[in-house]
A and B are shown apart, each in its own frame.
Chain A
Amino acid sequence: MSNKDAPYSDKPFDVDVDLGDSTHKHPLPTPKSKPKDFDSYWNKMLNDLGNTPGSPEEEQIPIRSSDFATTYGIRLTSIGPYRLFGYLSVPNDKDLAPFPTLFYFPNYSSVVNPLPQGATHELRRRYATFTLAARGQRNANKPFEATFPGLMTVGVDHPSTYIYRGIIGDCCRGIEYLHSRPDIDPKRTIGIGDDLTLISSGLVGKLSHISCGPGSLYKPINHPEILNYIRSNPNKLDKVSTSLSYFDSRWFNLPKDPICLISGEANGGAMGSDGLKALLNKLGNKATFYETQKSAYKDGLFKDTWIANQFGFDDPIIPKLWE
């Protein structure tokens, strides 16, 4: 859920939250290794998720459906227990099932649309699409309603209460839900988003492809909202630092199987060149790096083409205004 690297990188107006302060002169020190009980912490989360029935409900939404695709509102239970929401669109031509699938992960914003702004609805003719509202986002905001900015510090004083434990669980639940559907092709299911995509896929597997950029969980102690929180609560520095060490994307196992498209600035952006290099080294030859052109058009065209080719199609489906 990054505020720094939207799927299309020249999109400053409608996707991200302006935190007002994305750079800091004095970054805080970050731990050099993961907590000793890091793996058991996340195994406990996965156990909790496994013990929480997903109990999906699917309700058709006529106004969001068309002659070539049907859209459903999906309700799912994640850890907590907490009830989530998602939009699932499935092509009507069942002869083409199982369908290649685009799973758009939550971003750092309240709004979750059936398709992200800027994506053509023609995509739904070829692909199943799924957009997930994690806890706190619109349609998944009862009883917890997130604010943006604000979400990043919710419960941050302790690893067991930090909001991202639940949000990562929500993303894992979303992957499992898609995987449970017979009309979804498990060999052609891509997660699109930021480091939440890599982290949750690393925890539960099951995605065949990933397209992502860096996110807020790379050395999260230096996120602007966290720094503001610590500045106002200097006595909590140790607590917050300990909490966030369980959420630092550097410590998660990367997913073993998926083919990845990693996007961002050549210098690594928020990750820095060392962070980017380390990530690409870990992913090995299954990862392709794409340097953003800072253009929604150029970046979008490249990514749409990459996804189409990965899924066996010669041509991407692109917005009318790009034709």
Chain B
Amino acid sequence: MVEIPDIPTPSDTGADGQQIQGSNDIPTELMEPSQLSRFPMVNAIEGLAAANNRVFGSEATSKMLVATTSHFAGELSRSQDDTTRLRQQIDILRDEKADISSRNAVLNERIASFRSNRHFSNFGIFAGTTLIGACIEFFQNDMATYGIPVMILGTILLFLSWFIAPRRGDQ
């Protein structure tokens, strides 16, 4: 067995030090060598017929066979291209559907919060007006010490409920 010598290390590599690490994936700048090898069966049949035009029995048979395989290879190529295009469209539609679903979920959540806010707002307006009505009774009975805080509380509740209430434009 041939002995493989150790690899020497050059003292000065001459490298300029500007290189960066490439991706661990297959580098995108390396193009796939697929153009001629796409239909190896067709290439083989065409090659055989070109080398010997009677290789498949007779000249006519060879030509027919080459023409048939080339025709079906072309059909297959077009079908593959169509499939690729359809897959791309499916991907686009799937992305759009995902966007619409997430928007729908956000809007549903907003509708739910709108309903609970509306109940809270109605209760606040009711409680605020009740407290303001009560404070008037306190003032009429010379009970201002109770009337003022009740009036302040009722007013705050009324204003808060009024402004918290969601309007149609928010949705």
A binds B: no
